[in-house]
Structures are given as C-alpha cells and as structure tokens.
Chains A and B, each alone.
Chain A
Amino acid sequence: DGGITQSPKYLFRKEGQNVTLSCEQNLNHDAMYWYRQDPGQGLRLIYYSQIVNDFQKGDIAEGYSVSREKKESFPLTVTSAQKNPTAFYLCASCRTSMNTEAFFGQGTRLTVV
C-alpha cells in the first residue's frame, strides 16, 4: 500500500545529542514537509522540499536540518541547538499542484531525557 512511513515511533535523546528522524514515502510525491506539534497546539512547519536536492526553511527551522537526496526520503535532524526539542514530529507529502491535500505519516514522539 502507498503511504508515508516515519520511524521510530518513539525516540529518546540525551541533552546535547543530535538525532535523526526518518520519513519515507512511496506515493511518488514531489513535495515533502516536516511539522512539529506541541501539546494543545496545531502543527507548525519546520522545513519543506518541493523537489529533490532542494529544501526551504519553514516557520520554526532553527535547530533543525534536513536533506533531500532521494525523492522518497526526507530525514529530519534535530540538533543540539534546538533548545526545546521534546515534541511530536509529523512528516507529510503531497503533489505540487496548488491546493492539494497533504498525506501524513504516523509521527515520531521525541523526548529529551
């Protein structure tokens, strides 16, 4: 079945460590996105990519990095520069036609210990 796979589902990080969240899609979508969700809040855009080898900062990119070396994959690295990384992270993809719906993965819950 086509879809978006995020791994791991739960991730624990010690302060000062970098961690990488995986996102893979087999929907043949050009565009991919990373959103962050904090309790009681909506999603906020971290980074997005419209095409392979290109990506742009979203609204809260500080402390994060991404790469887009393959169409199917858009990993997110949470660096030690991110001061409050504990959150729920959601990856999404969509076609690049205007106003098309995004398809989301199951999410990764990151906790700093």
Chain B
Amino acid sequence: AQKITQTQPGMFVQEKEAVTLDCTYDTSDPSYGLFWYKQPSSGEMIFLIYQGSYDQQNATEGRYSLNFQKARKSANLVISASQLGDSAMYFCARGYGGATNKLIFGTGTLLAVQP
C-alpha cells in the first residue's frame, strides 16, 4: 500500500532556532505532488508548501523550505527561525489519483516551540 511515514511523533525546538520534520513516502506514480499542512489546536488544516516530483529546485515559502530527495523518497520540512506560533501538528501529504487531487496523509508530528 502506498504510505506516508512521519517517524517523529513529537519534537521540541527553541524559539528562533531551525527544526526539520521528517517525511518519507511510497509511490509508484511517475509524477506526484508533496504537501505540508499545519494543524493548530483549532483544528483547521493550513497549507504551507508544495513540491512537485519533477521540480528541479527545492520549494521555499517564507520560513518554510522543503528538503526534497527524490531517490530516497523523502520530503522533509525545514522551519527556520521558529516562533511560538509555530507550535502545532504538522502533516506531510502526497497527492494521488492525478487531477482528482486526492491526498494521503502521514500521522503527523507535534511541534512544540519553547521560549
């Protein structure tokens, strides 16, 4: 079965430091997209960043960047200069089903930013 694996159930980081959240995935699709979402305690899923499997460069979006290693099937999220508001659950997801844009999610990593 195609699967998303997030091996870190919880992480701590000091405010203003960088943190890396791990994500590996299975797929046999030749083309696919990878997404990271943030889920604060309010429950809403907030889109952070997207990486296409054929993109030559790693995606960046403000303080978020994606360390994409296609051969290793990993798509780690890097958050630079952590802020207290970054404390939340973070989910890695992969698109499947072509243009149907269905998503398969990992189990998430709970990030706690300490002052």
Contact = CB atoms under 8 A, between A and B. Distances in A.
Interface of A: 31, 33, 35, 40-45, 48, 50, 56, 58, 88, 90, 92, 94, 96-107, 109
A102 B44 contact: no
Given A101-B47, A104-B37, 10 more contacts: A31-B101, A40-B107, A43-B45, A48-B100, A98-B101, A99-B50, A100-B101, A101-B35, A105-B44, A107-B43
Interface size class of B (residues with CB under 8 A): 20 to 34
A80 to B, nearest CB: 25
B77 interface: no
Interface of B: 4, 31-33, 35, 37, 42-47, 50, 52, 91, 93, 95, 98-108
Contacts of A31: 100-101
